[in-house]
């Protein structure tokens, strides 16, 4: 099964525009239990399930419109040159939705994630695009199907079709039609995520390459599925009980275990910068002084703090430039 087959089975190949354009928004998300390793690279099928929280008002809004001829991509008001990785990857995704080879798309996309936050926007980007395609073509798909379409653009995008706590089920089928994200019923109004900017430079190793090398070469990767199985259970229960320390501890440990598998691969991948380690040490020092604060990290040097509303001010003394997100504050969306 390739990407085109998946799109065909979900949309029935209906690529006649039902409107002049389609517009949609999607939030970014941060995994508390990471997606790390694919069992199928073509259609982004993960080895394990994963669980995330969305970033409230931070995300992507995209409008897509059919045009005759070449694709046009506008990102935050500026045209994106054709020969960039960003444009190439986007074109390959748009290829899945063309009526014929002459059919192009104009994609106008706006990230509310400040570029300075150094956060990857592919999750919200591909989710917003899949949702916008659904509007353009009038498919009327449900969230499960939209999650699968978003997944074809970027694995973590499967989780960005919802706001809140989201679990992406790994699934076991070869066609991946059982590999989609689902919204968890719980909310946690006082939960806060702090974005600590270490670097906004484009990463040197893609998560795709690092995952491939880790799955193939890291002996530590063998323990990853059982780590995830355990962490998912702990995190689900911590969310149900609003047990902050249990949640933070499991999320931080899960992130560090993910990074350990990548460090133990060959070639090794270390996403940390010296400043990342300094930030981790500050978190540990705060905790040693009784402050409930934890961190998580993805395939880059930036740190995301996990905290509770009441402690934000005290943590800010140590991390003055942190940007705080309230994932469950609907008024900010
Ligand atoms: O969706 P991708 O291919 O960018 O992979 C994301 C991987 C991590 O961010 C490291 C973990 C996750 O679950 O989001």
From ligand 1's centre to the CA of 211, what distance in Å?
A: 9
pLDDT above 60 for 116: no
Residue 185: other Cβ atoms inside 10 A: 9
Please give the mean pLDDT across all residues of the chain.
95
pLDDT tens digits, 41-59: 999 999 999 999 999 989 9
From ligand 1's centre to the CA of 105, what distance in Å?
A: 26
In this prediction, residue 135 carries a pLDDT of 98
In this prediction, residue 115 carries a pLDDT of 60
Residue nearest atom 8 in ligand 1 by C-alpha distance? 298
Cα angle 92, 93, 97; round to 5: 110
Atom index in ligand 1 nearest the CA of residue 50 equals 13
pLDDT tens digits, 244-259: 999 999 999 999 999 9
Where does the pLDDT of residue 117 fall: very low under 50, low under 70, confident under 90, or very high at 90 and above?
low
pLDDT above 90 for 221: yes
In this prediction, residue 173 carries a pLDDT of 98
What b/e sequence results for 226-247 when a residue is b if at least 16 CB atoms lie within 10 Å of its CB, and e otherwise? Answer: ebbeebbebbbebbeeeebeeb
Question: Quick one: average pLDDT of 34-43?
Answer: 98
* Least confident segment among 49-53, 84-88, 136-140, 182-186: 84-88
Percent of the chain with pLDDT over 70: 98
In this prediction, residue 200 carries a pLDDT of 78
**pTM greater than 0.85 (yes/no):** yes
Alpha carbons 221 and 241: distance in angstroms, whole number: 30
In this prediction, residue 255 carries a pLDDT of 98
From ligand 1's centre to the CA of 251, what distance in Å?
A: 14
Where does the pLDDT of residue 120 fall: very low under 50, low under 70, confident under 90, or very high at 90 and above?
low
* Least confident segment among 118-122, 174-178, 264-268: 118-122
Output phi, psi for 101, to 5 deg: -65, -25
pLDDT tens digits, 267-306: 999 999 999 999 999 999 999 999 999 999 999 999 999 9
Q: Is 170 in the pocket of ligand 1 (CB under 6 A)?
A: no
């Amino acid at each position: 099964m390739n990407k085109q087959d998946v799109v065909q089975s979900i949309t029935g190949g209906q690529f006649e525009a039902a409107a002049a354009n389609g517009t949609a928004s999607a939030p970014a998300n941060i995994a508390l239990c990471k997606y790390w390793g694919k069992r199928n690279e073509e259609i982004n099928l993960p080895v394990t399930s994963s669980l995330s929280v969305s970033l409230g008002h931070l995300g992507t809004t995209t409008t897509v419109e059919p045009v005759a001829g070449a694709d046009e991509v506008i990102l935050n008001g500026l045209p994106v040159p054709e020969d960039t990785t960003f444009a190439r990857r986007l074109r390959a995704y748009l290829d899945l939705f063309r009526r014929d080879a002459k059919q192009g798309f104009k994609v106008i996309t706006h990230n509310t994630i400040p570029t300075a936050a150094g956060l990857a926007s592919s999750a919200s980007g591909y989710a917003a695009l899949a949702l916008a395609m659904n509007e353009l073509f009038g498919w009327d798909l449900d969230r499960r199907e939209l999650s699968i379409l978003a997944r074809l653009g970027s694995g973590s995008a499967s989780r960005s079709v919802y706001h809140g706590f989201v679990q992406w089920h790994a699934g076991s089928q070869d066609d991946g039609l059982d590999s989609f994200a689902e919204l968890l019923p719980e909310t946690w109004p006082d939960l806060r995520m702090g974005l600590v900017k270490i670097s906004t430079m484009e990463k040197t190793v893609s998560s795709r390459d690092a995952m491939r090398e880790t799955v193939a070469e890291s002996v530590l990767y063998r323990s990853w599925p059982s780590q995830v199985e355990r962490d998912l259970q702990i995190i689900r229960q911590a969310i149900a009980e609003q047990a902050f320390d249990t949640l933070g501890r499991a999320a931080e440990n899960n992130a560090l275990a993910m990074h350990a598998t990548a460090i133990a691969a060959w070639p090794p991948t270390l996403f940390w910068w010296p400043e990342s380690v300094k930030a981790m040490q500050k978190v540990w020092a705060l905790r040693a002084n009784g402050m409930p604060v934890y961190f998580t990290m993805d395939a880059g040097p930036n740190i995301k703090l996990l905290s509770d509303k009441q402690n934000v001010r005290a943590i800010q003394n140590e991390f003055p430039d942190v940007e705080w997100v309230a994932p469950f504050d609907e008024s900010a969306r």
